[in-house]
Amino acid sequence: MTGTTTSTSAPESPRRSARRLARDLPPWPVALLAGIGVVLFALPLVGLVARAPWTGLWTHLSSRFVVDAAVLSVVSSIAAAAVAALVGVPLAWVLARVSFPGRSAIRALVTLPMVLPPVVGGAALLFALGRRGVVGGPLHDATGLLLPYSIWGVILANAFVATPLVILTVEGALRNLDRRYEHAAATLGASRLRVLWRVTLPMIGPALGVAVVVAWARALGEFGATVTFAGSLGGRTQTLPLAVFVALESNRDAAVAISLVLVALSLGLLIALSDRWWPSR
Amino acid sequence: MGGLRAAMRHTRVAILAISAPVHAVLSRRADRNCRPWTRRFAPLTLLVMAPLADGCAASEGDVDGANRSGASVSGATTLEGSLHVLVAASLLPVAEVLAGDFEALHPGVDVLIAGAGSSALREQVLAGAPADVFIPADPSHLQVVRQEVGISGEPAVVARNSLALAVPAGNDARVTSLADLARPELLIGLCAAEVPCGTYARAGLSRAGIEPVPDTDEPNARALVTKLAAGELDAAVVYASDASTVAGIESLGWGTGSAPEAVYEAAVLAGAPNIGAAEAFVDFLDSAAARDALASHGFGAP
């Protein structure tokens, strides 16, 4: 349709020189500070591993309240990641493609949960969607539906904090997308929805995958919004992070065992993903 | 001894900037602390302070009797620095008031209150949080701290509390007694069994022969009261102090038999960075002014 005059200044040469620089040894202050950074992040893991009750690990992990919490965590975090993708991708598309007044404000609004203390987010959800909430009140009166103290509340709280990660990642991918492919498809007669489905989404597929997995990991680790909005009850709303928090005060070995599982899971995931973020080739 | 250590810790930072006032402070403190020659050679102490402070603390660190005598004169001397007080979540509202009153008496002291579930605070202390005073809602947490970290002197009972059945204002669910806590159709909240308000509540309910069906086990008393006051629960077992003072909730008392009682004991932690102010604070909690504040927040006298 439109005669695309995208000025694609060949990205090869700067990228190549950047690659050459990356092979160089870092200046010593950089190496020192980077080393301190590594220690900073590695130290807590060392503490956790040192504290771990290795002999009774399985006993702790197979106890009733841990299994309940694990099942709830897996189910609710996957559901939250699905919600995050379902809401986040369209939002990202609108933010990346549609120019409208107040776009920056909308972007700030939908990414706010990333920087907001989760407890504040949970309290806000409670005041909005609780039984006496602005929206939750009429909803409860009309349908009897009650989000807090249920798995729906957990999923909502998790999705609330996880969706911004999808929005930011996918919006970035959409902005970096070479739009000529979409234009070509449109020129060939594809409808907008078809372009989105057959061209755009497949092209941002890797970024979308990363976004969803990161959102899932964030949901899996969510604590503050969940406990504030959905409460904490074993078998119903007590996810793994909540179980860790409670167990830390009564059964520290179990808490450390759960923490190890969460760390192993998240670390494995991030290592698996790092190739997608930073292609080594 | 502890006072000197605390003073030095605070002054060490500011030493280059305000060396003259530091001399004055050090010499005043030296009167009742550690070694008299620190007064005569105040300028010298600036040079050799760090090692001496540590040696001083190590040699006379844990003598309870001596600490107490230091505390008795502390009202007359100038206390300063920040004072970290860890309080049970249920004490939080009144603790802020008490902190303000104490600061008015000792303008040099900055009282920093941290409130959370007593068991969470206990874990913080065991993990080495630099706190001066610990006031859990259940003396058993203080016992653990006493054994593993140590406390200075004896714990003092500073307040009492009891538990009560409470409902949000209006009582829409028409809750009348503890027995309603077993009604599954109501939204019931308790504190988690790990924190004192949960421990007390469960013990009391089991004595009353009631099996509650909670919809949430909140991690501390304040979180539970917040949800109740927001009307997001139909009934909860909370502290009587909260039930009678927090806006938006009504107390129904305990009803059957005697309500479970909570005892608040305050103790100065063995490694308290500001031991002088810590002892003065614990003493202050026994004053008429402090008792008035506690009573007006629904707490019972020790």
Cross-chain Cβ contact A149/B195 below 8 Å: no
Residues of A in contact with B223 (CB under 8 A): 227-228
Residue A204 lies in a domain: yes
> Could you tell me if residue A195 is inside a domain?
yes
**Residues in chain B closer than 8 A to A248 (CB atoms):** 120, 123
A-B C-beta contacts closer than 8 Å: 59
Please give the ipTM for the structure prediction.
Answer: 0.73
Question: Does some domain include residue A27?
Answer: no
Q: Residue A195 contacts by C-beta under 8 Å, 6 or more apart in sequence? A: A182, A185, A186
Quick check: is A6 in a domain?
no
pLDDT along chain B (302 residues), means of 10: 42 33 35 38 37 36 38 58 92 93 93 89 88 93 92 92 94 93 94 89 92 92 91 94 91 88 93 92 94 92 86
User: A127 touching B, CB under 8 A?
Assistant: yes
Which chain A residue's Cα is nearest to B232?
A: A131
Q: What is the predicted pLDDT for the residue at A21? A: 60
Assigned domain for A46 exists: no
Q: What are the CA-CA distances from residue A164 to residues A83, A109, A111, A171 (Å)?
A: 11, 10, 5, 10
H/E segment holding residue A155: helix A151-176
Which tens digits make up the pLDDT trace of A9-42? 444 566 666 665 656 788 899 999 999 999 999 9
β-pairing, B151-168 vs B261-269, is: antiparallel
A130-143: string of b/e by CB count within 10 Å (b at 16+)?
A: bbebeebeebbeee
Query: How far is residue A53's CA from residue A154's CA, in Å, rounded to a whole number?
Result: 29
Test B230 with A126 for CB contact under 8 angstroms: yes
Q: How far, in Å, CA of A110 to CA of A138, rounded?
A: 24
Rounded CA gap, B228 and B185, in Å? 16
Q: What is the pTM of this model?
A: 0.73
Closest partner residue to A232 (CB to CB) among B119, B122, B218 is: B218
Chain B nearest-CA residue for A250: B194
B216/A126 touch (CB, cutoff 8 Å), yes or no: no
Residue A140 sits at the chain B interface (C-beta within 8 Å): no
- Does any CB of chain B come closer than 8 Å to the CB of residue A153? no
DSSP β-bridge partners for residue B160 = B263, B300
Is residue A245 less than 8 Å (CB to CB) from chain B? yes
Tell me the CATH number at A137. Answer: 1.10.3720.10
* Contact between A237 and B119 using a beta-carbon 8 Å cutoff: no
pLDDT of residue B286: 92
Out of A123, A149, A238, whose CB is closest to B187? A149
- Rounded to whole angstroms, the Cα distance separating A220 from A238 reads 12
Eight-class DSSP state of B184: T
Q: How do residues B125-139 score in pLDDT, each as one tens digit?
A: 988 888 999 999 999
Residues of A in contact with B125 (CB under 8 A): none
Kindly state whether residue A172 falls inside one of the protein's structural domains.
Answer: yes
**Token reading at B233:** 């629960």
Q: How many structural domains compose chain A?
A: 1
The span from the CA of B241 to the CA of B161, in Å, is: 7
Structural domains of chain B sorted by starting position, each given as residue range(s) with its CATH number in brackets:
2-61 (no CATH), 81-159+263-296 (3.40.190.10), 161-262 (3.40.190.10)
Domain assignment of residue A164, given as a range: 57-277
Q: Which residues of B touch A234 (CB under 8 A)?
A: 217
3-state secondary structure at position B154: strand
- Residue B217's contacts (CB-CB under 8 Å, 6 or more residues apart) are A231, A232, A233, A234, A238, A246, B190, B191, B192, B193, B198
Report the C-alpha gap between A89 and B231 in whole angstroms. 35
| pLDDT greater at residue A4 or residue A113 | A113
A1 in any annotated domain: no
Q: How much is the pLDDT for A254?
A: 87
